[in-house]
A = this chain, B = another copy of it.
Amino acid sequence: MSIKVGIVGATGYTGAELVRILYRHPEVELVSLITQNYDGIPFSEVYPHLYQYNDMICEKLDLPALLDVADVIFVALPHGHAMPIALEAANRGKKLIDLGADFRLNDYSVYEEWYKVEHTARDLLGEAVYGLPELNREQIRRARLVANPGCYPTSALLALAPLLSKKLIDPGSIIIDSKSGVSGAGRGLSLDVHFCEVNENFKAYGVGVHRHTPEIEQELGKLAGETVTISFTPHLLPITRGILSTVYAKLNTSLCQNEVQEYYQEYYQAERFVRVLPTGLLPRTKWTAGTNHCDLGIVVDPRTGRVIVIAAIDNVVKGASGQAVQNMNIICGLPEDTALIGPGLFP
């Protein structure tokens, strides 16, 4: 069996990471690397770490031609660009995994409010599945259009799912303090990613207004069975890869460390990619570098009646391209961890 895969937006960081991960995938044949700026240029010239690994020539988008040759299409572009591609892919019955935000929000008006663009593929929102396999595996299995979660939401949702689904916390008390590496901002140029502005520096940004907020609230709301409003604060770490989210919530009842710890271990016991660390061990971003893991550490604080959950992922892998391949494996009926298992790079 060989799945023919095309990547639209192959020359961004998440596109390049798809190429890296799929190199090890025994069932995938890369048929097309689509780019806006590097048309006609070998991929390994854009990313020389892949020299002699992938010397395919990048191409401009020719949507009909792409849909002729590809079974599965990854769209690794900023929001707003996946809608027209998804519409055409739907017409042709092709599977599509969107790493951007276009199909993550079920309500188009919420999308339009937070993203300030019109949603031009509203009819597809009903069939799009939010691609967080640990929570939505069965729906993903039957999906044709998968909305790959945002990087921050992946960490926050996996941290909170056990607590909210069993109503152990007060949903109104949730605070998500997240810290991300710079690769989350992509390869585009701006003063925000200039080495001298980021290095030896740290800042919060988008406080109260970051676009991942409604995405997190929507999915938490499904878990809680009620509307959830959160405080979410992203920060920029002077590292390349990694997100660590520190999540605070008030416990509804007095639970001890052991009870909550065991509950997490049980909740995720069948999950290959979620590692619930033993009590006393807290996640570090680097322990997940280059892997599809989400590491969780749990602390119950009896002084305050709060539980603090710390989640670490590699934002480019579990927060983007790794999770996208995980979704592809599911919708194609392959073992879910194909090309995704293996220890990360440390130190």
Q: Contact check: which of B187, B284, B290, B312 meets A196 at CB < 8 Å?
A: B187
B residues within 8 A CB of A204?
Answer: 244, 246, 282, 297, 310
Q: How many angstroms between the C-alpha atoms of A142 and B71 in the bound complex?
A: 49
| CB < 8 Å neighbour of A308 from B49, B231, B304, B308 | B231
A124 CB within 8 Å of chain B: no
A195 at interface, CB cutoff 8 A? yes
A343 beta carbon closer than 8 Å to chain B: yes
Q: Is A47 an interface residue (CB 8 A)?
A: yes
B49 touches A207 (CB 8 A): no
How many identical subunits does the complex contain?
Answer: 4
- Those of A222-253 within 8 Å (CB) of chain B: 229-231, 233, 235, 237-242, 244, 246, 248
Provide the residues of chain B in CB contact with A248, threshold 8 Å: 175, 177, 231
Q: Is the CB of A202 within 8 A of B244?
A: yes
Interface flag for A289 (CB, 8 Å): yes
CB distance from A74 to the nearest CB of B (A): 17
Q: With contacts A51-B287, A195-B198 known, what are 19 further pairs, Cβ within 8 A?
A: A13-B196, A13-B347, A48-B277, A48-B287, A49-B286, A49-B343, A49-B346, A50-B346, A51-B295, A54-B343, A199-B347, A200-B240, A202-B242, A203-B284, A207-B282, A208-B301, A231-B304, A231-B306, A240-B347
Can you name 27 A-B residue pairings with CB atoms under 8 Å?
A13-B347, A16-B346, A23-B343, A48-B284, A50-B343, A51-B275, A51-B277, A175-B177, A179-B179, A193-B196, A195-B238, A200-B285, A201-B242, A201-B284, A201-B285, A202-B244, A202-B286, A203-B244, A203-B282, A203-B283, A204-B244, A207-B310, A208-B301, A208-B304, A231-B306, A233-B246, A345-B345
